[in-house]
Amino acid sequence: MSRIDLRNVSKRYGAVEAVSDLSLSIAPGEFITLLGPSGSGKTTTMRMIAGLEQPTEGTISIGARAMSDGKTFVPTYRRKLGMVFQSYAIWPHKTVSENVAFPLQMQGVSRADQKSRVQRMLDNVGLGGFADRYPSQLSGGQQQRVSLARALVAEPDVILFDEPLSNLDAKLRDSMRELLAQLHKQIGTTSVYVTHDQIEAMVLSDRVYIMNRGRLIQNGTPEDLYERPASRFVADFIGNANTVKFAAFDRGSNLVHLDGGSTLRVKALQGDPVENILVVRPHALAFASESERENVLEGAIGTVSYLGDRTRYSIETALGSDLTMEVVGRGRNVPPGEVVRVYFPPEACIVI
pLDDT in tens, 28-51: 999 999 999 999 999 999 999 999
Q: Which residues pair with 117 in a beta bridge?
A: none
Taking residue 68's Cβ as centre, other Cβ atoms within 10 Å add up to 21
Give the type of residue at 300. Answer: A
pLDDT category at 171 given cuts 50, 70, 90 is confident
pLDDT category at 173 given cuts 50, 70, 90 is confident
Tens digit of each residue's pLDDT (9 = 90 or more) over 80-91: 999 998 888 899
3-state SS assignment for residue 19 = strand
Quote the CA–CA distance of 46 and 52 in Å, as a whole number.
Answer: 9
Q: State residue 156's pLDDT score.
A: 92
With a pLDDT cut of 70, the percent of the chain lying above it is 97
Average pLDDT over residues 169-180: 87
Tens digit of each residue's pLDDT (9 = 90 or more) over 273-282: 677 888 999 9
What are the extents of the domains in the chain? 4-227, 240-351
Lowest mean pLDDT among 30-34, 126-130, 187-191, 251-255: 251-255
Quote the CA–CA distance of 184 and 174 in Å, as a whole number.
Answer: 16
Q: State residue 332's pLDDT score.
A: 67
pLDDT category at 267 given cuts 50, 70, 90 is confident
CA distances from 101 to 46, 117, 307, 310 (A): 24, 8, 44, 46
pLDDT at 220 over 90: yes
Q: State residue 272's pLDDT score.
A: 67
The answer for residues whose C-beta is within 8 angstroms of residue 32's C-beta and 6 or more apart is: 24, 26, 191, 192, 193, 205, 206, 207, 208, 209
Average pLDDT over residues 124-149: 93
Q: State residue 260's pLDDT score.
A: 77
Contact (Cβ atoms closer than 8 angstroms) between residue 97 and residue 64: no
The larger pLDDT score, comparing residue 171 to residue 274, is at: 171
CATH class of 240-351: mainly beta
**CATH fold group of domain 4-227:** Rossmann fold (3.40.50)
pLDDT at 290 over 90: no
